[in-house]
Structure 1
Amino acid sequence: MATEPESTGPARRTPPAQSSRGTAAHGRAAVNALRPPATGPGPAAAGLAAGRISPVVPRGLPTRTGDSTPDWLEPAMAANGIGSFDWDIRRDVLEGDPRACAILGLDPGRFDRSSAAFLAMLHPEDAPVVRRRVERAVAELGQCGAYYRTVFPGGQLHAARFRGRVLADAFGRPSRMVGFVWDATVELHKRERAGAMAALREDRSRFIKEAARALSEAVTVRDVARVFTELPLPGLPPDGLILASLEAGRFQVLGASGYLDGDLRQYDRTPVPAGHPAAEAIRNRAPVFISSRDEYRERYPDAYPQMAETGPRSAWGFLPLVASGRVTGICVVGFDDDRELDADERTLLSTLGGLVAQSLARARLHDAEHELAAGLQRVMLPRTVPSVPGVTTAVRYLAAGSGLQIGGDWYDVVPLPGGHVGLVIGDVQGHDVHAAGIMGQLRIALRAYAAEGHPPAAVMARASRFLADLDTDHFATCTYAEVNVDYGVVYAVRAGHLDPVVRRADGTATAVPVAGGLPLGVAPDEEYRVTRFSLDPGETVVLCTDGLVEARDMDLDTGYERLCSTVARELPGRGEGPRDPLDELADRIASLAADSSEREDDIALLLLRWDGPAGGLAAQQLRRRIGQADLARISELRGELRDALRRWGVADLVDSAELLASELVTNAIRHTDRDAMFTARLYREGAGDGRARLRVEVEDESDLWPTRRTPGEQASSGRGLMLVEALADAWGVEPRGSGKRMWFELSAD
Structure 2
Amino acid sequence: MTHSNRPMSGGAPSDPLGDELRADLSRAMELNGIGGFVWDVESMRVVLDPSALAIFDLEPGEFDEQISTLYRRIVPEERPGVRVRMAEVLVDPRCSTSCGNYFRVRRSDGTTRWAHSQAAIMRDESGKPVRVVGVLRAEPHYAEEQSTLESDRRHQAGVVQATTTALSQALGVEDVLTALTSHEILGPVGAVGISLTVLEQNRLRRLATVGMPPQYVRDLEYGRLDDDRPIAEVFQTQNPLFVTRADIRANYSMLWPYIKGTGFTASAVLPLMAQARLTGVLAILYEGKKGFSPEERNLLTALSATVAQSFQRALLYDEEHAMAVGLQQAMLPAKIETVPGMSVAARYRPARAGHQIGGDWYDVMPLPEGRVGLVVGDVQGHDIQAAAVMGQLRTALRAYATEGHSPTELMSRASTFLRDLDTERLATCVYVSLGPATGQAEVVRAGHPSPHIRTARGTAQLTVEGGPPLGLPPGLPLSLPDPGDVPYPIHRFRLGPRETLLLCTDGLLEFHDTDMAAGEQQIQVLLDSGPGPGDLDRLAEHIVASIEDRQGQEDDVALLLASRTTPDLSEANA
**Is the counterpart of residue 218 in structure 1 residue 218 in structure 2?**
no
Give, in whole Å, the separation in 2 of the partners of 1:294 and 1:553: 54
Identity of aligned residues (%): 37
User: Which of 190, 204, 207 does residue 156 from structure 2 map onto?
Assistant: 204
Which amino acid is 1:446 matched to?
L
Which amino acid is 1:217 matched to?
Q
State the 1:483 CA deviation.
0.8
Partner of residue 420, structure 1: 371
Partner of residue 362, structure 1: 313
User: What secondary structure sits across from 2:259 in the alignment?
Assistant: coil
Judged with a 3 Å threshold, the aligned counterparts in structure 2 of structure 1 residues 320 and 581 are, in CA distance, closer, same or farther, namely closer
Give, in whole Å, the separation in 2 of the partners of 1:487 and 1:235: 66
Partner of residue 544, structure 1: 504
Give, in whole Å, the separation in 1 of the partners of 2:501 and 2:493: 10
Deviation per CA, 1:330-382, whole angstroms, max 9, x where unpaired?
Answer: 12234577844221111121112112111211221222223223333333334
Give, in whole Å, the separation in 2 of the partners of 1:443 and 1:583: 23
* TM-score, scaled relative to structure 1: 0.48
User: Which of 272, 285, 293 does residue 225 from structure 2 map onto?
Assistant: 272
Give, in whole Å, the separation in 2 of the partners of 1:508 and 1:283: 61
Deviation per CA, 1:722-746, whole angstroms, max 9, x where unpaired?
Answer: xxxxxxxxxxxxxxxxxxxxxxxxx
Partner of residue 278, structure 2: 327
User: What secondary structure sits across from 2:195 in the alignment?
Assistant: strand
User: Which of 521, 531, 549 does residue 490 from structure 2 map onto?
Assistant: 531
**Is the counterpart of residue 289 in structure 1 residue 242 in structure 2?**
yes
CA contact (8 A) 1:374 1:406 kept: yes
Judged with a 3 Å threshold, the aligned counterparts in structure 2 of structure 1 residues 266 and 394 are, in CA distance, closer, same or farther, namely closer
User: What secondary structure sits across from 1:306 in the alignment?
Assistant: coil
Judged with a 3 Å threshold, the aligned counterparts in structure 2 of structure 1 residues 509 and 588 are, in CA distance, closer, same or farther, namely farther
Judged with a 3 Å threshold, the aligned counterparts in structure 2 of structure 1 residues 211 and 489 are, in CA distance, closer, same or farther, namely same
**Is the counterpart of residue 311 in structure 1 residue 225 in structure 2?**
no
Partner of residue 606, structure 1: 560
Which deviates more from structure 2 when the two are superposed, residues 600-609 or residues 251-260?
600-609
CA contact (8 A) 1:543 1:607 kept: yes
Which amino acid is 1:321 matched to?
L
User: What secondary structure sits across from 2:425 in the alignment?
Assistant: coil
Alignment of 1:611-690 (within 5 A): 613-614=567-568
User: What secondary structure sits across from 1:516 in the alignment?
Assistant: coil
Give, in whole Å, the separation in 1 of the partners of 2:248 and 2:562: 71
Deviation per CA, 1:450-479, whole angstroms, max 9, x where unpaired?
Answer: 346554455445545654665544343323
Judged with a 3 Å threshold, the aligned counterparts in structure 2 of structure 1 residues 451 and 201 are, in CA distance, closer, same or farther, namely same
Deviation per CA, 1:62-94, whole angstroms, max 9, x where unpaired?
Answer: xxxxxxxxxx9xxx89x9599xxxxxxxxxxxx
Which deviates more from structure 2 when the two are superposed, residues 439-448 or residues 206-215?
439-448
**Is the counterpart of residue 409 in structure 1 residue 360 in structure 2?**
yes
Which amino acid is 2:382 matched to?
H
Partner of residue 300, structure 2: 349
Quote the RMSD (CA, aligned, Å). 4.9
Give, in whole Å, the separation in 1 of the partners of 2:484 and 2:454: 34
Deviation per CA, 1:529-558, whole angstroms, max 9, x where unpaired?
Answer: 66251316255544333445668968xxx7
CA contact (8 A) 2:412 2:485 kept: yes
Which amino acid is 1:606 matched to?
L
Which amino acid is 1:613 matched to?
P
Partner of residue 746, structure 1: none
State the 1:259 CA deviation.
2.9
Partner of residue 11, structure 2: none
State the 1:321 CA deviation.
0.9
Give, in whole Å, the separation in 2 of the partners of 1:233 and 1:510: 49
CA contact (8 A) 1:204 1:348 kept: yes
Gaps of 5+ in 1: 1-71, 83-141, 149-183, 620-686, 689-749
Give, in whole Å, the separation in 2 of the partners of 1:479 and 1:240: 52
User: Which of 420, 429, 433 does residue 478 from structure 1 map onto?
Assistant: 429
**Is the counterpart of residue 489 in structure 1 residue 440 in structure 2?**
yes
Alignment of 1:682-721 (within 5 A): none
CA contact (8 A) 1:498 1:544 kept: yes
Partner of residue 172, structure 1: none
Judged with a 3 Å threshold, the aligned counterparts in structure 2 of structure 1 residues 249 and 598 are, in CA distance, closer, same or farther, namely closer
State the 1:252 CA deviation.
2.2
User: What secondary structure sits across from 1:242 in the alignment?
Assistant: strand
Which amino acid is 1:535 matched to?
R
Deviation per CA, 1:380-420, whole angstroms, max 9, x where unpaired?
Answer: 33455455454454545453343325311112222434442
Q: Which has the larger radius of gyration?
A: 1
Judged with a 3 Å threshold, the aligned counterparts in structure 2 of structure 1 residues 437 and 584 are, in CA distance, closer, same or farther, namely same
User: Which of 183, 188, 197 does residue 244 from structure 1 map onto?
Assistant: 197
CA contact (8 A) 2:225 2:235 kept: no
Give, in whole Å, the separation in 2 of the partners of 1:510 and 1:236: 53
Give, in whole Å, the separation in 2 of the partners of 1:544 and 1:521: 21
Give, in whole Å, the separation in 2 of the partners of 1:332 and 1:144: 54
State the 1:251 CA deviation.
2.5
State the 1:219 CA deviation.
2.9
| Pairs aligned (count) | 439
Judged with a 3 Å threshold, the aligned counterparts in structure 2 of structure 1 residues 563 and 488 are, in CA distance, closer, same or farther, namely farther
Partner of residue 371, structure 1: 322
Give, in whole Å, the separation in 2 of the partners of 1:353 and 1:570: 44
Deviation per CA, 1:5-37, whole angstroms, max 9, x where unpaired?
Answer: xxxxxxxxxxxxxxxxxxxxxxxxxxxxxxxxx
Judged with a 3 Å threshold, the aligned counterparts in structure 2 of structure 1 residues 333 and 540 are, in CA distance, closer, same or farther, namely closer
CA contact (8 A) 1:220 1:366 kept: yes
Give, in whole Å, the separation in 2 of the partners of 1:275 and 1:563: 55
State the 1:255 CA deviation.
1.8
Which amino acid is 2:503 matched to?
L
Judged with a 3 Å threshold, the aligned counterparts in structure 2 of structure 1 residues 286 and 230 are, in CA distance, closer, same or farther, namely same
Give, in whole Å, the separation in 1 of the partners of 2:440 and 2:429: 20
Which amino acid is 1:311 matched to?
I
CA contact (8 A) 2:452 2:459 kept: no
State the 1:202 CA deviation.
2.8
Judged with a 3 Å threshold, the aligned counterparts in structure 2 of structure 1 residues 607 and 315 are, in CA distance, closer, same or farther, namely closer
Give, in whole Å, the separation in 2 of the partners of 1:412 and 1:430: 20
Structure of higher RCO (CA pairs closer than 8 Å, 6+ residues apart):
2
CA contact (8 A) 1:488 1:610 kept: yes
Which amino acid is 1:242 matched to?
S
Which amino acid is 1:424 matched to?
V
Deviation per CA, 1:602-657, whole angstroms, max 9, x where unpaired?
Answer: 3434344457625765x9xxxxxxxxxxxxxxxxxxxxxxxxxxxxxxxxxxxxxx
* TM-score, scaled relative to structure 2: 0.60
User: What secondary structure sits across from 1:381 in the alignment?
Assistant: coil
CA contact (8 A) 1:517 1:526 kept: no
Which amino acid is 2:155 matched to?
D
Partner of residue 443, structure 1: 394
Judged with a 3 Å threshold, the aligned counterparts in structure 2 of structure 1 residues 145 and 223 are, in CA distance, closer, same or farther, namely same
CA contact (8 A) 2:273 2:279 kept: yes
**Is the counterpart of residue 257 in structure 1 residue 192 in structure 2?**
no
Give, in whole Å, the separation in 1 of the partners of 2:230 and 2:539: 57
Partner of residue 98, structure 1: none
State the 1:276 CA deviation.
6.8
CA contact (8 A) 1:394 1:583 kept: yes
State the 1:518 CA deviation.
6.0
Give, in whole Å, the separation in 2 of the partners of 1:412 and 1:380: 11
